[in-house]
Amino acid sequence: MNKQTFLVEIGTEELPQKILHNLSKNFCNHLVSEIKKLKIMHGNVEIFATSRRLAIKIFKLHEYQLDQNIKKIGPYFSSIFDLNKKIPKPAEIWAFKNKIDILKTKFLERNNGYSLIYYQKIKGKLTKILLPEIIKKTLEKISAPYSMKWHMDITPFVRPIRTITVLLDNELINMKLFNIQSNRYINGHRFLGKNKLFLNHANEYPSILYKNNQIIADFNERKEKIKKDIKSTARKLGGIIKFNSALLNEINSLVESPNIYYGSFDKKFLIIPQEILIYIMEVKQKCFPIYDINHNLLKSFIFVANIKSKSSTIIVADYEKILYSHFSDILFFITQDMKINFADRLLKLKQIIFQKDLGNMYDKTKRIKKLSIWIANTLNIDDKLIKRTALLSKCDLVTQLVNEHPDLQGIVGMYYALNNGEKKEIAIALKEQYLPRFSNDILPSNIIGSILSIAEKIDVITGIMILGKISKGNSDPFGLRRAGLGLLKIIVHNRFHIDLNNLVEKSIECYNQLQQTKKEIIIDFLLKRLLSWYKDKKYNSNVIKSILIFRPTKPMNFDAKVKAITLFYNSKQINALLDLNKRIINVFSKINKNVVLPDKINVKYLVEHDEIKLFQVINQINNIIDHLIEQNNYESLLNETMSLIKPVNNFFKNVKINVTNKKLYKNRLLILKNIKEIFLKIADFSFLKNSEL
């Protein structure tokens, strides 16, 4: 069978740099999936992505899809012919509905009866005929934020499409999509070489782009070249690079033909705190700072441009001029801000609204102070430094530097606090109160910062939810999901014994409100974050749900349960407990709902050896269960429950439960109820199934 090279390139306007890599993988996954569905065999797949194109190249794509052997079986009937010596009516109806010629069917013997069976071989279609629909379906399935319709009659896409090129070897596949007719022309570089390039053959891609325009179409290849060239340039300048992966990916997504340049700034600016200089260079100017071997900033920087200029001095001078302007402003702001003692800014927070109907930032500071003190007292931690930290927590919001660069809040607070003689642990906590800022971010490094961060996050969540502004769908304008997840991570990481029920209650109280309904809504919201977080950590969703069914409000307790159950679940040790739980549930499902059981097991009615033995084991577990739960030692508790397996099995085997003596009957039911209650203190085992192990 003939095998061909297949190429599809979608030329677009500039694609969003933050999603380019995922967009290209999404494109490839859906395309390969559609090809696989149609049973078209192929070889290796290559992905290409730049700011102006998404492309897939597939080698050894078969000329035809595979032939399909179809087997259809009709309804069952007891004899081949009915009383009129005809094929039974149900078989005729089946054949008619499926457009099958009965003469081409055979009889299949089935359970003392028959069915008609039909075999059909469907010859595979030409691949090139199927490709337009494959590409159309692929583009329809690509999901990306901010997609929109660029023409009235087409599917939304992330950016306007300008060219579509589809080749099988040297053959152009004719198709029209997004109001664009496919052709052999692909976009070159906007400023280098030819603007349009003509493709004769799929195998010319992507080399034709590099040959004519120095465009590196492969995302990873381009990224590695940028890294290599930046490292090399840094060495020449006597320094090293600490790559910011987010910045590297962003730069890689912005340029098609990467060219490395370097510049420098006045040494006087090195008195500015290093984190602020890095922020300006990386975030504002997309530059790579250079460090010495001790990780101190040098006065040089590297940047990547999408063109190779004959007048590189002009490009470098422009960058240096912009950085000089930024750094000069920073120095000015710092000089002005230092004229006011940092702590004296507290009352100025009254000028900044936190949220309409929720007061100002001074009100928020007072709430954070109350919450922080409450958390510290709950954890038996001295609150002296925490009080001071909470009072200073928002003071940098009224500085000129943060007013100009809001992203620097916390960082500015740390340096200004140190400058005013505050303790180092207080200053660090001021910086780290906003951690974690995203899913894989670091957590606060000290206890004060951790407590302040919890207080900050629960205050935001409570306030916004009191206003009824709950996150819906993918929308999270107030960052509540991020705040909730961060709060839980800090509690679990630090092994803080904090009850969410009490924390939320205290937070609502700080708003001078007592709203039970809001409290339940907030706790439900946090429990959903727990579910999401532990699913992301690849814990079995049924294990998680078996615990969440009880609405656990102690994250440390929840974490310990999940880990212990998972350990037993994965090792299959828990299977026997699940079987016991199922047998006990079955017993209670059959008893009269009006049966009232006594409060305690009566030893007088323990007459059989196996029920006495089981009662003793239950007592042993009940004597230590509260202590183990208090220590969050669910692994030991599960080990203890394993001791129930043999006596319970003997109990079911040798002791009759449903006896005529009602006192014996109820006593035995109560024994089983006690076991069920032990299980429920760990989880609801009915969520767990042996078959999943």
CATH code, domain with 351: 1.10.3210
Question: Does 290 score more than 70 pLDDT?
Answer: yes
Residue pLDDT, tens place only, 517-536: 789 999 999 999 999 999 99
pLDDT score recorded for residue 660: 86
Residue pLDDT, tens place only, 456-470: 999 999 999 998 887
Same domain, 10 and 130: yes
| 657 φ/ψ angles, rounded to the nearest 5 degrees | -85, -50
Read off the pLDDT of each residue in 109-137 and give the average, rounded to a whole number: 82
The more confidently predicted of residues 589 and 634 is: 634
Same domain, 405 and 492: yes
Read off the pLDDT of each residue in 188-208 and give the average, rounded to a whole number: 89
Same domain, 615 and 645: yes
Distances, alpha carbon 193 to alpha carbons 16, 196, 213, 214, 257, in Å: 24, 9, 5, 9, 12
Same domain, 524 and 651: no
Packed helices 500-510 and 361-378: angle between N→C axes, nearest 10 degrees: 150
Kindly report which listed range (62-76, 128-142, 401-415, 587-601) carries the lowest average pLDDT score: 62-76
Closest listed residue to residue 401, CA positions, set 512, 451, 324, 326: 326
Question: Does 118 score more than 80 pLDDT?
Answer: no
Same domain, 130 and 194: yes
Residue ending a domain, among 322, 337, 352, is 337
Rounded CA-CA distance 430/396 in Å is 9
Same domain, 111 and 223: no
Rounded CA-CA distance 638/643 in Å is 9
Q: What is the domain count for the chain?
A: 5
Is 546 inside a domain boundary? no
The more confidently predicted of residues 523 and 125 is: 523
Is 93 inside a domain boundary? yes
The pLDDT mean for the chain works out to 90
Same domain, 61 and 87: no
Same domain, 644 and 662: yes
Read off the pLDDT of each residue in 537-563 and give the average, rounded to a whole number: 95
Beta-bridged to residue 58, according to DSSP, are 6, 45
680 confidence band (pLDDT: 50, 70, 90)? very high
Tokens standing for residue 183: 């052709």
Rounded CA-CA distance 47/41 in Å is 18
Is 544 inside a domain boundary? no
Residue ending a domain, among 213, 230, 262, is 213
647 confidence band (pLDDT: 50, 70, 90)? very high
CB 654 within 8 A of CB 601: no
Is 644 inside a domain boundary? yes
Question: Does 692 score more than 60 pLDDT?
Answer: no
Q: Determine the number of helices (DSSP H) and then strands (DSSP E) in the chain.
A: 24, 15
In terms of Cβ atoms closer than 10 Å to its own Cβ (0-12, 13-18, 19+), residue 375 is: buried
Amino acid at 670: L
Same domain, 312 and 200: no
DSSP line for 105-165? -EEEEETTEEEEEEEEEEPPPBHHHHHHHHHHHHHHH---TT-B-SSTTS--BSS-EEEEE
Q: Domain residues for 265?
A: 219-337
398 confidence band (pLDDT: 50, 70, 90)? very high
In terms of Cβ atoms closer than 10 Å to its own Cβ (0-12, 13-18, 19+), residue 405 is: buried
Residue ending a domain, among 283, 314, 337, is 337
Token look-up 């199927």 returns 130
Same domain, 605 and 519: no
CATH code assigned at 177: 3.30.70.260
CATH code assigned at 603: 1.10.730.10
Is 183 inside a domain boundary? yes
103 confidence band (pLDDT: 50, 70, 90)? low
Question: Does 80 score more than 90 pLDDT?
Answer: no
Is 370 inside a domain boundary? yes
pLDDT score recorded for residue 153: 53
693 confidence band (pLDDT: 50, 70, 90)? very low
How close are the terminal C-alpha atoms of the chain, in Å?
44
DSSP line for 191-227? SSS-SEEE-S-GGGTTHHHHHHH-----HHHHHHHHH
Question: Does 82 score more than 60 pLDDT?
Answer: no
Residue pLDDT, tens place only, 316-369: 999 999 999 999 999 999 999 999 999 999 999 999 999 888 999 999 999 999
Is 548 inside a domain boundary? no
Q: Is 56 helix (H, G, I), strand (E, B) or coil?
A: strand
Q: Which residues of 574-609 are buried (b: 16+ CB within 10 A; e: fewer)?
A: bebbbebbeebeebeeeeeeeeeeeeebeeebbeee
Rounded CA-CA distance 375/383 in Å is 9
Read off the pLDDT of each residue in 224-250 and give the average, rounded to a whole number: 95
Pairing of strands 180-181, 68-73: unpaired
Rounded CA-CA distance 161/187 in Å is 11
Q: Alpha helices of 500-608 — where are they, by DSSP H?
A: 500-510, 516-536, 541-548, 555-570, 575-590
Q: Select, from the ranges 171-185, 262-276, 648-662, the one with the highest average predicted confidence (pLDDT).
A: 262-276
In terms of Cβ atoms closer than 10 Å to its own Cβ (0-12, 13-18, 19+), residue 189 is: buried
CB 139 within 8 A of CB 10: yes
pLDDT score recorded for residue 691: 44
Which residues have CB under 8 Å from 246's CB, separation 6+? none
Same domain, 511 and 605: no
Rounded CA-CA distance 656/693 in Å is 32
DSSP line for 251-308? HHHH-SS-EEEEEE--GGGGGS-HHHHHHIIIIIS--EEEE-TTSPEEEEEEEEESS-
Same domain, 587 and 483: no
Pairing of strands 106-110, 68-73: unpaired
Rounded CA-CA distance 44/5 in Å is 10
Rounded CA-CA distance 400/396 in Å is 9
Is 551 inside a domain boundary? no
